[in-house]
Amino acid sequence: MKTKTRIHEIIKTISANMPSGMLHSKPDGSFDIMQSQVADWIASELVADPEFLQSVFNKAREYETITFEPESKTWKGKNS
């Protein structure tokens, strides 16, 4: 399955199965993505999907935003 199609399927599944009652804004109505229960739940679901994680890793490697250093046998970010 193409990566784009797979991502769309993951998003559909996540949205359809999201529990009710999650907060997306602060009580005063302002928004902070770092305090969003919805964003936290989506992130946890994405991380739980090994195929999605593999596709993100493959794209990062393909775009050379991460590289493997054979001498140290470690990965590093482009700006590291």
The H-assigned helical ranges of the chain are 3-17, 37-47, 50-62
Copy the structure tokens of residue 61: 């490697």
Question: Which two tokens mark 34?
Answer: 């770092």
Position 33 scores a pLDDT of: 86
DSSP assignment letter at 68? E
Q: State how far the alpha carbon of 60 is from the alpha carbons of 2, 21, 57, 63, 78, in Å.
A: 16, 34, 5, 5, 10
- The series of mean pLDDT values per 10 residues for the chain, 80 residues long, is 72 82 79 86 82 86 94 92
User: pLDDT value at position 80?
Assistant: 83
